[in-house]
Amino acid sequence: MAYLFTSESVSEGHPDKVADQISDALLDNFLAFDENSKVACETLVTTGQVVLAGEVKSNTYLDVQHIAREVINDIGYTKGAYKFSGDSCGVISLIHEQSQDINQGVDRANKEEQGAGDQGMMFGYATKETENYMPLALDISHKILIELAKLRREEKDILYLRPDSKSQVTIEYSDENVPQRIEAIVVSTQHDEFDEDDDHMLTKIKKDIIEILIPRVKAQLPEYVQKLFNDKITYHINPTGKFVIGGPHGDAGLTGRKIIVDTYGGKGAHGGGAFSGKDPSKVDRSAAYAARHIAKNLVAAGLSDEILVQVSYAIGVVEPTSIYVDTYGKSNVKMSNGDISKKVAELFDMRPAAIENRLKLRNPIYRETAAYGHMGKEPRTITKIFESPYNGKITREVELFTWEKLDYVDKVKEAFGLA
């Protein structure tokens, strides 16, 4: 029987994402000036206020208030009418030094023997459903909000947009788990006050979203996905009505509250640990990236059309406590999931230091992950500039989204005898 599956995304201006981006901007600055920094930074944003908290061990010192304000302004919170702006909000720092009890279990004289920064289980997922091996509903949800943010910054076709927004896409699947059509699209976008009445306002917003935004999103998609759009899609555009009060003034935001948006939109699984604000010694982050890297390369190599990878750790222990691969009964090799898991453990070194080295995670690459998903982005190299009143100015060339590279496909094919 056909079924429906839904995923959501939130914009860079959503209060939780504002918090994530501040936490990751702080992490990037610490790593830029001291690559061995240990960082676990949490952010709270609310009306006119930012609170920074957490633990840091680093040889550098930063103007954390200035960094937070820069992020807020970059997102687009620059006007007093928003009741939250980078130039006027208060920024309180409660960051303190990392616990020595934790640090002694992580650091080692031999960096290769670095212990895991925490216990827990992490998951990676990949599917042939899309060209970037991500679940389709989530991929479309992200693209809707990325394009909406572009429209906001262009200040051309839609002039009333504010930074906070959410999207949701529902797709109908066949019994064979093949996408058939888009059932529903939800878009809620913050907006300026309208001179007209609420009914006229809502009519205009709905018209602009359906006639301007959606065609721009659709044009970016491959033909097989474009065919899923149809005249019977149910659109819910600002379904609660007026949405002027939003962002951190409308709701408080916290680092790490959008972990499903950050990963696979409810497909696969999630171990529960958040990513943003954590340096790569925290396996909540680094091992989740490594698990995605494994899953994506396995699917791309043809091992299975869909794969879930689980890895687990004990705090301070070097080797993972388990590695498991689930092929959902779609394996193209005559091996059990257990046997596949053992071979994967031989192919991919999952010690924390090995993950850091393989994926180049001791670089300032994290601000770019903190909105529109940590997975499914295109790997690329960019130049970033960091300035500090205490450390001067440095320029760093860094490689983003290394866990999305298909650099193990040939090794996987050889190991599993895939053509």
Which residue type does 311 have? V
Q: Let me know if 198 is a catalytic residue.
A: no
| CA neighbor of 367 nearest in space, from 108, 115, 41, 36 | 41
Catalytic residue among 35, 63, 251, 387: 251
**Quick check: is 143 catalytic?**
no
CB 52 within 8 A of CB 22: yes
* Whether 243 is catalytic: yes
Q: Catalytic pick from 162, 257, 267, 367?
A: 257
Contact indicator for 266, 374 with CB cutoff of 8 Å: no
- The annotation places the binding site for ATP at 14, 164-166, 242-243, 251, 257-258, 274, 278
Note whether 120-128+282-416 and 138-245 share their fold.
Answer: yes
Return the CATH fold of 138-245: GMP Synthetase; Chain A, domain 3 (3.30.300)
What does the alpha-carbon distance between residue 323 and residue 338 come to, in Å, rounded to a whole number?
9
CATH number of 120-128+282-416: 3.40.50.300, 3.40.50.1370, 3.30.559.10, 3.30.300.10? 3.30.300.10
Task: State residue 98's pLDDT score.
Answer: 65
Catalytic residue among 249, 267, 278, 367: 278
Label residue 83 left, alpha or beta by phi (over 0 means left) and psi (-120 to 50 means alpha): left
Q: What confidence score (pLDDT) does residue 97 get?
A: 83
Q: Is residue 251 annotated as part of the catalytic site, yes or no?
A: yes
Q: What is the pLDDT of residue 419?
A: 77
Measured distance CA(20)–CA(253) in Å, rounded: 9
Q: How far apart are CA 347 and CA 326, in angstroms?
A: 16
Domain ranges of the chain: 120-128+282-416, 138-245
**23's tokens:** 């936490």
Listed residue (23, 75, 60, 74) closest to 246, CA to CA: 75
Catalytic residue among 166, 285, 292, 374: 166
Nearest to 144 by CA among 86, 70, 225: 225
Of 8, 34, 42, 306, which residue is the catalytic one? 42
Beta strand pairing call for 179-191 and 234-237? parallel
Task: Using alpha carbons only, give the angle 214, 215, 221 rounded to the nearest 5 degrees.
Answer: 95
Decide if pLDDT at 292 tops 70: yes
Residues annotated as binding site for Mg(2+)? 16
- Residue 398: the pLDDT is 98
Has 252 been annotated as catalytic? Answer: yes
Active site residue 326: no
Residue 152 token pair: 């906001």
Bridge partners, 399 (sequence order):
381
Verify whether residue 413 is a known catalytic residue.
no
Tell me phi and psi for residue 359, to 5 degrees: -100, 5
Identify whether 278 is a catalytic site residue.
Answer: yes
The answer to which of 48-52, 110-114, 204-208, 327-331 has the lowest mean pLDDT is 110-114
Q: Indicate if 279 belongs to the active site.
A: no
Quick check: is 404 catalytic? no
Residues 77-124 have pLDDT tens digits of: 999 999 999 999 999 999 998 655 445 555 555 566 687 878 899 999
What's the confidence (pLDDT) of residue 389?
Answer: 87
Q: Which of 2-16, 195-209, 272-286, 373-387 has the lowest mean pLDDT?
A: 195-209
Q: Is 360 a catalytic residue?
A: no
Return binding residues for K(+): 42
CB 49 within 8 A of CB 92: yes
pLDDT of residue 110: 57
Position 105 scores a pLDDT of: 52
**Per-residue pLDDT reduced to its tens digit, 302-315:** 999 999 999 999 99
Q: Is 149 helix (H, G, I), strand (E, B) or coil?
A: helix
Residue 81 sits at φ, ψ, to 5 deg, of: -65, -20
Question: Which residues in 227-369 belong to E strands, given as ranges?
Answer: 234-237, 253-254, 306-313, 322-326
Q: What is the pLDDT of residue 115?
A: 79
Query: Could you confirm whether 354 is annotated as catalytic?
Result: no
Catalytic residue among 12, 147, 284, 368: 284
- Choosing from 8, 16, 34, 208, the catalytic residue is 16
- For residue 55, indicate whether it is catalytic: yes
Catalytic residue among 14, 57, 152, 351: 14
Kindly state the average pLDDT of the residues 394-417: 97
Paired strand residues for 392: 388
Give yes or no: 270 in active site: no
Contact between 26 and 65 (Cβ < 8 Å): no
Give 1's pLDDT tier (boundaries 50, 70, 90). confident
